[in-house]
Amino acid sequence: MSIPVDRAVELYTEASDAEAQGNIERAEALYLECIGLFKTAGDSESANAANVWNALGFMRHEVGDHAGALVAANEAVRLLDSLPETEASRDGSEIRLQAWGLAGNVNRHLAKYVEAERILIHALKYAIEHFGEADEETSAARNHLGILYKYTGKFDEAEKLYRAALKNLLAQVGEENSFVATIYHNLGGLAHARGDFAGGEAEARKAWDIRRKLLGEDDPAVLADAAAYAGVLDGLERYAESEPIYRRALEVFEKLYGEEHYEIVVNLNNLANVCYARGDVKEAEALFRKSLKIKEKILGAEHPDTALTVNNLGVLLQSLGRNDEAHELFKRALQVFESQLNADHPHVQMARENLAAVS
Protein backbone atom coordinates (compact mmCIF):
# COMPACT_ATOMS: atom_id res chain seq x y z
CA MET A 1 0.00 0.00 0.00
CA SER A 2 1.42 3.38 -0.98
CA ILE A 3 1.99 6.25 1.41
CA PRO A 4 -0.95 8.38 0.09
CA VAL A 5 -3.32 5.44 0.56
CA ASP A 6 -1.96 4.68 4.04
CA ARG A 7 -2.56 8.28 5.02
CA ALA A 8 -6.00 8.29 3.39
CA VAL A 9 -7.03 5.32 5.54
CA GLU A 10 -5.81 7.14 8.64
CA LEU A 11 -7.77 10.24 7.64
CA TYR A 12 -10.92 8.22 7.11
CA THR A 13 -10.65 6.83 10.64
CA GLU A 14 -10.01 10.31 12.04
CA ALA A 15 -13.01 11.67 10.11
CA SER A 16 -15.27 8.91 11.40
CA ASP A 17 -14.14 9.61 14.96
CA ALA A 18 -14.74 13.35 14.55
CA GLU A 19 -18.22 12.67 13.19
CA ALA A 20 -19.01 10.35 16.12
CA GLN A 21 -17.95 13.14 18.51
CA GLY A 22 -20.22 15.63 16.74
CA ASN A 23 -17.39 17.67 15.25
CA ILE A 24 -19.00 17.88 11.82
CA GLU A 25 -16.84 20.66 10.42
CA ARG A 26 -13.63 18.75 11.17
CA ALA A 27 -15.10 15.48 9.89
CA GLU A 28 -16.07 17.13 6.60
CA ALA A 29 -12.58 18.53 6.10
CA LEU A 30 -10.97 15.17 6.86
CA TYR A 31 -13.30 13.25 4.54
CA LEU A 32 -12.50 15.67 1.70
CA GLU A 33 -8.77 15.43 2.36
CA CYS A 34 -9.06 11.65 2.35
CA ILE A 35 -10.85 11.73 -1.01
CA GLY A 36 -8.09 13.93 -2.40
CA LEU A 37 -5.43 11.40 -1.41
CA PHE A 38 -7.33 8.52 -2.97
CA LYS A 39 -7.64 10.60 -6.14
CA THR A 40 -3.89 11.17 -6.11
CA ALA A 41 -3.34 7.43 -5.80
CA GLY A 42 -5.08 6.87 -9.14
CA ASP A 43 -7.97 4.94 -10.69
CA SER A 44 -7.26 1.80 -8.68
CA GLU A 45 -8.56 3.61 -5.59
CA SER A 46 -11.80 4.88 -7.15
CA ALA A 47 -13.93 2.44 -5.16
CA ASN A 48 -12.33 3.59 -1.89
CA ALA A 49 -12.86 7.23 -2.82
CA ALA A 50 -16.50 6.46 -3.64
CA ASN A 51 -16.89 4.83 -0.23
CA VAL A 52 -15.65 8.02 1.44
CA TRP A 53 -18.03 10.13 -0.68
CA ASN A 54 -20.84 7.94 0.65
CA ALA A 55 -19.72 8.43 4.26
CA LEU A 56 -19.59 12.17 3.70
CA GLY A 57 -23.01 12.11 2.05
CA PHE A 58 -24.63 10.19 4.90
CA MET A 59 -23.16 12.66 7.41
CA ARG A 60 -24.39 15.64 5.41
CA HIS A 61 -27.87 14.13 5.14
CA GLU A 62 -27.94 13.47 8.89
CA VAL A 63 -27.17 17.10 9.73
CA GLY A 64 -29.64 18.48 7.18
CA ASP A 65 -27.32 19.38 4.31
CA HIS A 66 -29.40 17.52 1.73
CA ALA A 67 -28.03 19.30 -1.32
CA GLY A 68 -24.50 18.46 -0.19
CA ALA A 69 -25.51 14.86 0.45
CA LEU A 70 -26.85 14.56 -3.08
CA VAL A 71 -23.59 15.92 -4.51
CA ALA A 72 -21.63 13.32 -2.52
CA ALA A 73 -23.86 10.45 -3.61
CA ASN A 74 -23.62 11.48 -7.25
CA GLU A 75 -19.82 11.69 -6.99
CA ALA A 76 -19.70 8.17 -5.57
CA VAL A 77 -21.78 6.81 -8.46
CA ARG A 78 -19.69 8.72 -11.01
CA LEU A 79 -16.47 7.22 -9.68
CA LEU A 80 -17.84 3.70 -9.64
CA ASP A 81 -19.25 4.05 -13.15
CA SER A 82 -15.73 4.89 -14.33
CA LEU A 83 -14.46 1.46 -13.27
CA PRO A 84 -14.35 -1.30 -15.89
CA GLU A 85 -16.96 -4.00 -15.26
CA THR A 86 -14.15 -6.54 -14.87
CA GLU A 87 -12.99 -4.65 -11.78
CA ALA A 88 -16.38 -4.80 -10.13
CA SER A 89 -16.47 -6.58 -6.77
CA ARG A 90 -19.06 -7.20 -4.08
CA ASP A 91 -17.59 -4.28 -2.13
CA GLY A 92 -17.87 -2.04 -5.17
CA SER A 93 -21.43 -3.16 -5.82
CA GLU A 94 -22.37 -2.50 -2.19
CA ILE A 95 -20.84 0.98 -2.35
CA ARG A 96 -22.80 1.66 -5.53
CA LEU A 97 -26.06 0.55 -3.88
CA GLN A 98 -25.34 2.73 -0.87
CA ALA A 99 -24.84 5.72 -3.15
CA TRP A 100 -28.08 5.05 -5.02
CA GLY A 101 -29.92 4.54 -1.75
CA LEU A 102 -28.59 7.83 -0.43
CA ALA A 103 -29.44 9.68 -3.65
CA GLY A 104 -32.93 8.18 -3.72
CA ASN A 105 -33.62 9.01 -0.08
CA VAL A 106 -32.34 12.57 -0.41
CA ASN A 107 -34.51 13.14 -3.47
CA ARG A 108 -37.47 11.73 -1.56
CA HIS A 109 -36.71 13.99 1.38
CA LEU A 110 -36.66 16.96 -1.03
CA ALA A 111 -40.05 15.82 -2.45
CA LYS A 112 -38.47 14.96 -5.81
CA TYR A 113 -40.51 11.78 -5.91
CA VAL A 114 -40.24 10.92 -9.61
CA GLU A 115 -36.45 11.06 -9.56
CA ALA A 116 -36.33 9.18 -6.27
CA GLU A 117 -38.49 6.40 -7.69
CA ARG A 118 -36.34 6.10 -10.81
CA ILE A 119 -33.16 5.71 -8.75
CA LEU A 120 -34.60 3.34 -6.17
CA ILE A 121 -36.28 1.02 -8.67
CA HIS A 122 -32.98 0.81 -10.53
CA ALA A 123 -31.16 0.08 -7.27
CA LEU A 124 -33.55 -2.74 -6.37
CA LYS A 125 -33.20 -4.36 -9.79
CA TYR A 126 -29.42 -4.10 -9.50
CA ALA A 127 -29.45 -5.63 -6.01
CA ILE A 128 -31.56 -8.58 -7.12
CA GLU A 129 -29.35 -9.14 -10.18
CA HIS A 130 -26.04 -8.96 -8.30
CA PHE A 131 -26.92 -10.35 -4.87
CA GLY A 132 -30.14 -12.33 -5.23
CA GLU A 133 -33.62 -12.01 -3.76
CA ALA A 134 -32.70 -12.87 -0.17
CA ASP A 135 -29.51 -10.84 0.36
CA GLU A 136 -29.41 -8.10 2.98
CA GLU A 137 -28.44 -5.55 0.31
CA THR A 138 -31.64 -6.42 -1.55
CA SER A 139 -33.62 -6.01 1.67
CA ALA A 140 -32.09 -2.56 2.07
CA ALA A 141 -33.07 -1.63 -1.49
CA ARG A 142 -36.62 -2.85 -0.86
CA ASN A 143 -36.80 -0.82 2.32
CA HIS A 144 -35.68 2.39 0.58
CA LEU A 145 -38.31 1.98 -2.14
CA GLY A 146 -40.94 1.07 0.46
CA ILE A 147 -40.32 4.33 2.32
CA LEU A 148 -40.83 6.28 -0.90
CA TYR A 149 -44.09 4.47 -1.64
CA LYS A 150 -45.35 5.16 1.87
CA TYR A 151 -44.74 8.89 1.36
CA THR A 152 -46.43 8.89 -2.04
CA GLY A 153 -49.49 6.98 -0.86
CA LYS A 154 -48.72 3.64 -2.55
CA PHE A 155 -49.38 1.80 0.66
CA ASP A 156 -49.95 -1.71 -0.70
CA GLU A 157 -46.70 -1.59 -2.69
CA ALA A 158 -44.84 -0.31 0.36
CA GLU A 159 -46.14 -3.12 2.56
CA LYS A 160 -45.13 -5.80 0.05
CA LEU A 161 -41.60 -4.43 -0.03
CA TYR A 162 -41.34 -4.17 3.76
CA ARG A 163 -42.74 -7.67 4.33
CA ALA A 164 -40.37 -9.24 1.80
CA ALA A 165 -37.41 -7.49 3.39
CA LEU A 166 -38.49 -8.51 6.89
CA LYS A 167 -38.99 -12.15 5.96
CA ASN A 168 -35.50 -12.43 4.51
CA LEU A 169 -33.86 -10.54 7.36
CA LEU A 170 -35.51 -12.64 10.06
CA ALA A 171 -34.29 -15.79 8.33
CA GLN A 172 -30.73 -14.46 8.14
CA VAL A 173 -30.11 -12.49 11.33
CA GLY A 174 -33.01 -13.12 13.69
CA GLU A 175 -35.15 -10.52 15.38
CA GLU A 176 -32.70 -8.69 17.66
CA ASN A 177 -31.06 -6.73 14.86
CA SER A 178 -31.02 -2.99 14.14
CA PHE A 179 -32.09 -3.41 10.51
CA VAL A 180 -34.99 -5.62 11.60
CA ALA A 181 -36.00 -2.86 14.03
CA THR A 182 -35.96 -0.40 11.12
CA ILE A 183 -38.40 -2.53 9.14
CA TYR A 184 -40.74 -2.87 12.13
CA HIS A 185 -40.50 0.92 12.58
CA ASN A 186 -41.48 1.44 8.96
CA LEU A 187 -44.35 -1.04 9.15
CA GLY A 188 -45.68 0.83 12.18
CA GLY A 189 -45.35 4.11 10.27
CA LEU A 190 -47.18 2.62 7.30
CA ALA A 191 -50.06 1.51 9.51
CA HIS A 192 -50.16 5.02 10.97
CA ALA A 193 -50.35 6.52 7.48
CA ARG A 194 -53.26 4.21 6.71
CA GLY A 195 -55.04 5.16 9.92
CA ASP A 196 -54.74 1.59 11.22
CA PHE A 197 -53.41 2.55 14.63
CA ALA A 198 -54.39 -0.63 16.45
CA GLY A 199 -52.81 -2.68 13.68
CA GLY A 200 -49.57 -0.72 13.85
CA GLU A 201 -49.08 -0.67 17.62
CA ALA A 202 -47.33 -4.02 18.04
CA GLU A 203 -44.79 -3.49 15.26
CA ALA A 204 -44.04 0.11 16.23
CA ARG A 205 -43.50 -1.01 19.82
CA LYS A 206 -41.35 -3.93 18.70
CA ALA A 207 -39.03 -1.58 16.81
CA TRP A 208 -38.52 0.52 19.94
CA ASP A 209 -37.99 -2.51 22.18
CA ILE A 210 -35.45 -4.17 19.88
CA ARG A 211 -33.39 -1.06 19.29
CA ARG A 212 -33.18 0.08 22.91
CA LYS A 213 -31.94 -3.38 23.89
CA LEU A 214 -29.17 -2.90 21.38
CA LEU A 215 -28.36 0.79 21.87
CA GLY A 216 -29.80 2.02 25.17
CA GLU A 217 -32.59 4.45 25.99
CA ASP A 218 -31.28 7.77 24.64
CA ASP A 219 -29.64 6.84 21.35
CA PRO A 220 -31.08 9.05 18.56
CA ALA A 221 -32.29 6.01 16.59
CA VAL A 222 -34.03 4.67 19.70
CA LEU A 223 -35.75 7.99 20.31
CA ALA A 224 -36.88 8.10 16.67
CA ASP A 225 -38.46 4.67 17.20
CA ALA A 226 -40.08 5.89 20.41
CA ALA A 227 -41.50 8.95 18.65
CA ALA A 228 -42.90 6.80 15.84
CA TYR A 229 -44.56 4.57 18.43
CA ALA A 230 -45.94 7.71 20.12
CA GLY A 231 -47.59 8.65 16.82
CA VAL A 232 -49.49 5.37 16.88
CA LEU A 233 -50.47 6.02 20.50
CA ASP A 234 -51.88 9.38 19.42
CA GLY A 235 -54.13 7.60 16.94
CA LEU A 236 -55.36 5.46 19.82
CA GLU A 237 -55.91 8.64 21.90
CA ARG A 238 -53.36 7.52 24.51
CA TYR A 239 -51.92 10.98 24.89
CA ALA A 240 -50.72 10.52 28.47
CA GLU A 241 -48.29 7.91 27.10
CA SER A 242 -47.23 9.74 23.96
CA GLU A 243 -46.63 13.22 25.37
CA PRO A 244 -43.61 12.36 27.60
CA ILE A 245 -42.06 10.45 24.70
CA TYR A 246 -42.19 13.54 22.46
CA ARG A 247 -40.87 15.82 25.17
CA ARG A 248 -37.94 13.52 25.94
CA ALA A 249 -37.14 13.10 22.24
CA LEU A 250 -37.17 16.87 21.74
CA GLU A 251 -34.90 17.41 24.74
CA VAL A 252 -32.28 15.01 23.41
CA PHE A 253 -32.59 15.96 19.73
CA GLU A 254 -32.24 19.68 20.46
CA LYS A 255 -29.00 18.99 22.36
CA LEU A 256 -27.69 16.86 19.50
CA TYR A 257 -28.86 18.81 16.48
CA GLY A 258 -30.02 22.25 17.54
CA GLU A 259 -33.48 23.44 16.53
CA GLU A 260 -33.15 23.41 12.75
CA HIS A 261 -33.35 19.67 12.12
CA TYR A 262 -36.00 17.41 10.64
CA GLU A 263 -36.37 15.28 13.78
CA ILE A 264 -37.10 18.44 15.76
CA VAL A 265 -39.90 19.69 13.53
CA VAL A 266 -41.57 16.29 13.30
CA ASN A 267 -41.74 16.02 17.07
CA LEU A 268 -42.84 19.64 17.50
CA ASN A 269 -45.72 19.02 15.10
CA ASN A 270 -46.73 15.81 16.86
CA LEU A 271 -46.49 17.34 20.32
CA ALA A 272 -48.67 20.22 19.08
CA ASN A 273 -51.29 17.67 18.02
CA VAL A 274 -51.21 16.17 21.52
CA CYS A 275 -51.61 19.59 23.15
CA TYR A 276 -54.52 20.36 20.83
CA ALA A 277 -56.20 17.03 21.60
CA ARG A 278 -56.05 17.62 25.34
CA GLY A 279 -57.32 21.19 25.02
CA ASP A 280 -54.20 23.29 25.47
CA VAL A 281 -54.74 25.28 22.30
CA LYS A 282 -52.35 28.07 23.26
CA GLU A 283 -49.35 25.76 23.51
CA ALA A 284 -50.55 23.81 20.47
CA GLU A 285 -50.66 26.95 18.32
CA ALA A 286 -47.22 28.03 19.48
CA LEU A 287 -45.75 24.61 18.71
CA PHE A 288 -47.40 24.42 15.28
CA ARG A 289 -46.08 27.86 14.38
CA LYS A 290 -42.59 27.01 15.61
CA SER A 291 -42.59 23.77 13.64
CA LEU A 292 -43.89 25.56 10.55
CA LYS A 293 -41.24 28.29 10.72
CA ILE A 294 -38.42 25.74 10.89
CA LYS A 295 -39.95 23.52 8.18
CA GLU A 296 -40.22 26.50 5.84
CA LYS A 297 -36.52 27.15 6.40
CA ILE A 298 -35.14 23.60 6.10
CA LEU A 299 -37.66 22.05 3.68
CA GLY A 300 -39.19 25.02 1.89
CA ALA A 301 -42.74 26.34 1.73
CA GLU A 302 -43.73 23.97 -1.09
CA HIS A 303 -42.79 20.71 0.64
CA PRO A 304 -45.60 18.27 1.58
CA ASP A 305 -44.28 17.97 5.15
CA THR A 306 -44.49 21.73 5.49
CA ALA A 307 -48.01 21.68 4.09
CA LEU A 308 -49.00 19.06 6.67
CA THR A 309 -48.20 21.46 9.51
CA VAL A 310 -49.97 24.25 7.60
CA ASN A 311 -53.06 22.02 7.49
CA ASN A 312 -52.79 21.11 11.17
CA LEU A 313 -52.55 24.75 12.18
CA GLY A 314 -55.63 25.41 10.06
CA VAL A 315 -57.57 22.72 11.91
CA LEU A 316 -56.71 24.35 15.23
CA LEU A 317 -57.69 27.82 14.06
CA GLN A 318 -60.95 26.51 12.62
CA SER A 319 -61.81 25.01 16.00
CA LEU A 320 -61.32 28.46 17.53
CA GLY A 321 -63.70 30.06 15.02
CA ARG A 322 -60.91 31.78 13.09
CA ASN A 323 -62.28 30.54 9.79
CA ASP A 324 -60.75 33.18 7.54
CA GLU A 325 -57.25 32.30 8.72
CA ALA A 326 -58.06 28.59 8.50
CA HIS A 327 -59.37 29.01 4.95
CA GLU A 328 -56.09 30.52 3.77
CA LEU A 329 -54.07 27.78 5.43
CA PHE A 330 -56.20 24.96 3.98
CA LYS A 331 -55.99 26.57 0.54
CA ARG A 332 -52.21 26.78 0.81
CA ALA A 333 -51.88 23.19 2.02
CA LEU A 334 -54.11 21.87 -0.77
CA GLN A 335 -52.12 23.70 -3.45
CA VAL A 336 -48.91 22.05 -2.24
CA PHE A 337 -50.44 18.59 -1.88
CA GLU A 338 -52.03 18.72 -5.33
CA SER A 339 -48.77 19.84 -6.93
CA GLN A 340 -46.63 17.19 -5.22
CA LEU A 341 -48.84 14.15 -4.59
CA ASN A 342 -51.22 11.94 -6.54
CA ALA A 343 -54.86 12.98 -6.57
CA ASP A 344 -55.89 9.97 -4.47
CA HIS A 345 -53.30 10.57 -1.75
CA PRO A 346 -54.93 10.85 1.72
CA HIS A 347 -53.37 14.28 2.29
CA VAL A 348 -55.04 15.64 -0.84
CA GLN A 349 -58.43 14.32 0.22
CA MET A 350 -57.99 15.66 3.76
CA ALA A 351 -57.08 19.16 2.60
CA ARG A 352 -60.00 19.27 0.14
CA GLU A 353 -62.45 18.31 2.88
CA ASN A 354 -60.99 20.85 5.29
CA LEU A 355 -61.14 23.65 2.73
CA ALA A 356 -64.73 22.78 1.82
CA ALA A 357 -65.71 22.97 5.49
CA VAL A 358 -64.69 26.65 5.78
CA SER A 359 -65.65 27.82 2.28
Last residue in a domain, options 293, 327, 346: 293
Cβ contacts of residue 198 below 8 Å, gap of 6+?
236
Residue 90: per-residue pLDDT: 78
Asked if residue 12 belongs to a domain, the reply is no
203 and 264 together in one domain: yes
Per this entry, what is the length of the chain? 359
204 and 273 together in one domain: yes
Using a cut of 0.75, tell me whether the model's pTM lies above it: yes
Each of the 359 residues of the chain gets a pLDDT tens digit; together they read 466 788 999 999 999 999 999 899 999 999 999 999 998 887 667 888 999 999 999 999 988 898 999 999 999 988 888 877 555 577 888 999 999 999 999 999 999 999 999 999 999 999 999 999 999 999 999 999 999 999 999 999 999 999 999 999 999 999 999 999 999 999 999 999 999 999 999 999 999 999 999 999 989 999 999 999 999 999 999 999 999 999 999 999 999 888 888 999 999 999 999 999 999 999 999 999 999 999 999 999 999 999 999 999 999 999 999 999 999 999 999 999 999 999 999 999 999 999 999 98
230 and 269 together in one domain: yes
Last residue in a domain, options 278, 293, 308: 293
283 and 321 together in one domain: no
Last residue in a domain, options 235, 263, 293: 293
308 and 288 together in one domain: no
Domain assignment of residue 243, given as a range: 195-293
Do residues 187 and 162 make contact, with C-beta atoms less than 8 angstroms apart?
yes
Question: Cα–Cα–Cα angle for 114, 115, 120, nearest 5°?
Answer: 100
d(CA 335, CA 329): 10
**How far out from the chain centre does Cα 350 lie?**
23
d(CA 139, CA 132): 10
Asked if residue 207 belongs to a domain, the reply is yes
Asked if residue 84 belongs to a domain, the reply is no
Question: Cα–Cα–Cα angle for 136, 92, 101, nearest 5°?
Answer: 55
Do residues 329 and 290 make contact, with C-beta atoms less than 8 angstroms apart?
no
267 and 209 together in one domain: yes
Helix ranges, the chain (H): 3-20, 24-41, 46-62, 66-81, 90-109, 113-131, 136-151, 155-173, 178-194, 197-215, 220-235, 239-257, 262-277, 281-298, 304-319, 323-340, 346-358
Residue 347: per-residue pLDDT: 95
Residue 258: per-residue pLDDT: 87
- Which has the closest alpha carbon to 177: 133, 221, 226? 221
* Number of domains into which the chain is organized: 2
Residue 57: per-residue pLDDT: 97
223 and 309 together in one domain: no
DSSP assignment, residue 320? T
Domain CATH for 256: 1.25.40.10
Residue 277 CB neighbours (<10 A): 14
End-to-end CA distance of the chain: 71
Asked if residue 6 belongs to a domain, the reply is no
Is the backbone of residue 135 left (phi > 0), alpha (psi -120 to 50) or beta? beta
